[in-house]
Amino acid sequence: MAIETACHAFPWTQKTMEGCLAGRYFNGALYVDEQLAGFYVGERAGPDNTLMDICIAPEFQGNGLAKALLQDFVTRSETMSAENLFLEVRASNKAAIGLYEQAGFIESGIRKNYYPSHDGKEDAILMALALCFMGSS
C-alpha cells in the first residue's frame, strides 16, 4: 500500500488491494536488495489478461524497472496462454503510454471522464496487445 499511495494521486483502497490479491487475480513483484521496488496486479478473464495496476516506488523510478515488470506480466500471460492483453492508462500519463507502446500495446479506445482528477475527471486510454501462439503441426 505504501508504493500504491506514493505512486497515485488517487490510489486504490486497502480493501480493493486485498481483493485483488485473490481469485482470478495474479501479481508480480520486483525487489532491489531485498526491498520491494514495485509490483503489478493482473486479472484473468476468460482467455484474456488485464493489467490492473503497475507501480514502481518513487525512489526506484527511472531505472527500467517498470519495463521489467511489464515484460514479466507479458511473459506470464504467454505461459497462461492468454490470447489478448488489455490495460487502461490516464491520458496524461505519457511515460506509461510510451512504455506500453514500446511493449507492443496499441490504443484501442478511450473511456471519457473515467479517472478522478484534481480538475474533475480525466480520460482513460484503452490499450491492447494480441498474443499469437503457433499450434503444433
Residues flagged as binding site:
93
Q: How many domains does the chain have?
A: 1
Asked whether residue 64 carries a pLDDT value surpassing 80, the answer given is: yes
**Cell reading at 45:** 478473464
Beta strands in the chain (DSSP E): 25-32, 35-45, 48-56, 84-90, 106-117, 120-130
Which of 40, 100, 115, 122 does the annotation list as catalytic? Answer: 100
Question: What is the structure's pLDDT at 74?
Answer: 97
Asked whether residue 101 carries a pLDDT value surpassing 60, the answer given is: yes
We report the CATH number of the domain holding residue 111 as 3.40.630.30
Question: What is the structure's pLDDT at 137?
Answer: 41
Residue 30, exposed/middle/buried by CB under 10 A (0-12, 13-18, 19+)?
middle
Domain membership of residue 137 (yes or no) is no
Domain membership of residue 31 (yes or no) is yes
- Element spanning 7, H or E: helix 2-7
Give the residue with greater pLDDT, 109 vs 8: 109
Range of the structural domain that residue 101 is part of: 2-130
Q: Say which residue the cell 471519457 belongs to.
A: 112
**Cell reading at 47:** 482467455
Domain membership of residue 136 (yes or no) is no
Q: Is 88 tagged catalytic?
A: yes
Mean pLDDT of 119-132: 93
Q: Say which residue the cell 484534481 belongs to.
A: 118
Mean pLDDT of 99-104: 97
Domain membership of residue 102 (yes or no) is yes
What DSSP character marks residue 132?
A: -
Domain membership of residue 111 (yes or no) is yes
Domain membership of residue 62 (yes or no) is yes
Residues flagged as binding site for acetyl-CoA:
93
Residue 123 identity:
D
Q: Is 114 tagged catalytic?
A: no
Mean pLDDT of 7-12: 78
Question: What is the structure's pLDDT at 136?
Answer: 42
Which of 18, 40, 83, 88 does the annotation list as catalytic? Answer: 88
Task: Give Cβ neighbours of residue 123 (< 8 Å, ≥ 6 apart).
Answer: 90, 91, 110, 111, 112, 113, 114, 115
| Mean pLDDT, all residues of the chain | 90
Domain membership of residue 98 (yes or no) is yes
Give the residue with greater pLDDT, 99 vs 1: 99
Question: What is the structure's pLDDT at 133?
Answer: 60
